[in-house]
Amino acid sequence: MQTLTLFRIPHPISKNAVVPRYAMSRSSETSFPTLTTTSISFFQLQDKNADLSLKIEEGFGPNGLGILSVTDVPGYPSLRRNLLQLAPRLAKLPKEVREDLEDPNSRYNFGWSHGKEKLESGKPDILKGSFYANPILDTPTTEASLIQRYPSYCGSNIWPRNTLPELEVAFKALGMLIFEVGLMLAYHCDQYVSRGMRTREDEGLESILRRSRCHKGRLLYYFPSQLGDPDGNTLSSWCGWHTDHGSLTGLTCGMFTKDGVEMSCPDSAAGLYIRTRSDQIVKVVFGEDDIAYQIGETTEILSGSYLCATPHCVQAPKGEKSSGIERSTFALFMQPNWDEKLNFPEEVPIHKEMIRPEPAASFILNEDLGSITRYFSANRYNWLKRLGLLIHGTRIILCRCVVAIR
């Protein structure tokens, strides 16, 4: 009789590995400590000869929070403000206009989406509305078979050009800037990873992201909270616990408004929370004019866990002063192309002691589960029993967990 046990194996970091020293405080209104992200100046990031390995390891390494921020990005503050202030206007467009911006064929992954996702309670998520678009390419492909097979990635953007024409300009400008800074960060991530494992130049994070045609921006609008809202009492009330499944996520600091007037958040306990690798929950903060970047599960796998993703959620403000507060924010999900061939590292530390050395396996990101199963069976690998699989929409992503067969 076989017993399947899921467990995590810690990354074998070097003796000289960095243990991050985060600025820590503790709010009187929450039992969770508050940490400030590791930050890198834009001007440091621009220098390809700069050694940023310590910073990368502090933020993204095995002991990091899976997040770091980039400071002093030229032009960013105004681009952030230009887009985020449009979110309430978009959410308040007439119902028939918003319905024209919906795209059921893409599973609401292009255009306007409200109430299509579910909260952890199982109820429809009516707390926030989202607007999705590819800020790099309006039409990633015109091939009908690809659009039919991968509608969430290969569809075309939908813009409210007659009712809110400035949205397209602001969305693309901010999205492109976060993408370009993300490529700079990806370059330095590749330099850090190359110190610990062998990688081909065209298989690094920067190359994968530069080739991709399916990056996705998401403008989020959190509707004003009301007193007595039963879904506002949980830690993850605004955005449930999850780990990004893509490669790299760029995000802005949220903008809070009330009756159209910008204001600071009235609840110090509200914001982004991360579950650390020691299973602790911490609140994470970064500057209003900083761009934060989080590692996704795809990058964690391809980097052999030298770059690590972390679960996170968003807590809504509570209390009487929080009634009527609305929040706007933006995230850019950078991910491999739908047909990108991803190669496993030759050595994957989380399972190298359990599986005998073999040539590096590879797979097409969007292959169906049956094809992957046949591939591994044909090559006499038993990895499907040893590596957990997370099926996210049309994508199959290997999780950082191992199944031990006893």
**pLDDT tier at 250, thresholds 50, 70, 90:** very high
d(CA 280, CA 3): 29
Closest C-alpha to 308, from 9, 42, 47, 75: 9
* Residue 156 pLDDT: 97
Judging by DSSP bridges, how do beta strands 281-285 and 33-36 pair with one another?
Answer: parallel
Q: Given a cut of 50, is residue 368 above it in pLDDT? A: no
**pLDDT tier at 277, thresholds 50, 70, 90:** confident
Please tell me the least confidently modeled range out of 19-23, 258-262, 377-381: 377-381
* Residue 41 pLDDT: 98
* Residue 259 pLDDT: 87
Q: Given a cut of 80, is residue 243 above it in pLDDT? A: yes
d(CA 76, CA 169): 14
Collapsing DSSP states into helix, strand and coil, what is residue 376? helix
* Residue 257 pLDDT: 93
* Residue 267 pLDDT: 87
Question: Do residues 240 and 119 make contact, with C-beta atoms less than 8 angstroms apart?
Answer: yes
- β-sheet bridge partners, residue 282: 274
Q: Given a cut of 80, is residue 119 above it in pLDDT? A: no
* Residue 374 pLDDT: 44
Q: What is the mean pLDDT of residues 170-189?
A: 99
Q: Given a cut of 70, is residue 129 above it in pLDDT? A: yes
State the fold for domain 34-349. Answer: Jelly Rolls (2.60.120)
Which is more confidently placed, 141 or 260? 141
Reported for 40-45, long-range contacts at CB under 8 A and 24+ positions apart, including other chains, are 40/68, 40/69, 40/70, 40/71, 40/185, 40/188, 41/70, 41/71, 41/72, 42/70, 42/71, 42/72, 42/73, 42/74, 42/181, 43/72, 45/70, 45/181, 45/184, 45/185, 45/188
Which is more confidently placed, 171 or 225? 171
Domain extent listing, the chain: 34-349
d(CA 5, CA 406): 8
* Residue 8 pLDDT: 35
Which pLDDT tens digit goes with each residue over 212-228?
999 999 999 999 876 54
**pLDDT tier at 318, thresholds 50, 70, 90:** confident
Q: Given a cut of 90, is residue 392 above it in pLDDT? A: no
Cα Rg of the chain, angstroms: 21
d(CA 4, CA 328): 44
Which is more confidently placed, 403 or 142? 142
Closest C-alpha to 281, from 236, 330, 328, 248: 236
* Residue 226 pLDDT: 64
**pLDDT tier at 349, thresholds 50, 70, 90:** low
Share above pLDDT 70 across residues of the chain, in percent, rounded to a whole number: 74
Closest C-alpha to 114, from 216, 218, 250: 218
Reported for 396-399, long-range contacts at CB under 8 A and 24+ positions apart, including other chains, are 396/365, 396/366, 396/367, 396/369, 396/372, 397/245, 397/297, 397/298, 397/301, 398/297, 398/301, 399/297
* Residue 347 pLDDT: 64
d(CA 123, CA 332): 26
Q: Given a cut of 80, is residue 97 above it in pLDDT? A: yes
> For residue 181, with 0-12 CB atoms within 10 Å meaning exposed, 13-18 middle and 19 or more buried, which class applies?
buried
d(CA 220, CA 63): 30
Please tell me the least confidently modeled range out of 35-49, 65-79, 90-104, 225-239: 225-239
Q: Given a cut of 70, is residue 78 above it in pLDDT? A: yes
Question: Do residues 339 and 364 make contact, with C-beta atoms less than 8 angstroms apart?
Answer: yes
* Residue 186 pLDDT: 98
* Residue 172 pLDDT: 99
Which is more confidently placed, 5 or 43? 43
- CA 19, distance to chain mean position in Å, is 23
Q: Residue 129 carries which side chain, given as an amino acid letter?
A: G
d(CA 332, CA 368): 26
| Average pLDDT along the chain | 81
Distances (CA, A) of 321 to 230, 266, 268, 324, 369: 17, 6, 12, 8, 49
* Residue 10 pLDDT: 40
**Highest mean pLDDT (candidates 53-67, 111-125, 216-230, 305-319):** 53-67
Question: Do residues 300 and 342 make contact, with C-beta atoms less than 8 angstroms apart?
Answer: no
Q: Which residues contact 388 (CB under 8 A, 6 or more apart)?
A: 6, 398, 399, 401, 402, 403
Distances (CA, A) of 191 to 50, 96, 199, 272: 10, 50, 10, 28
d(CA 69, CA 58): 11
Q: Given a cut of 70, is residue 26 above it in pLDDT? A: no
Q: How far apart are the first and last CA of the chain?
A: 8
d(CA 174, CA 215): 13
Q: Could you tell me where the beta strands, DSSP code E, fall in 259-317?
A: 261-263, 271-275, 281-285, 291-295, 312-315
- Residue 288: CB atoms within 10 A of its CB come to 13
Q: Given a cut of 80, is residue 354 above it in pLDDT? A: no
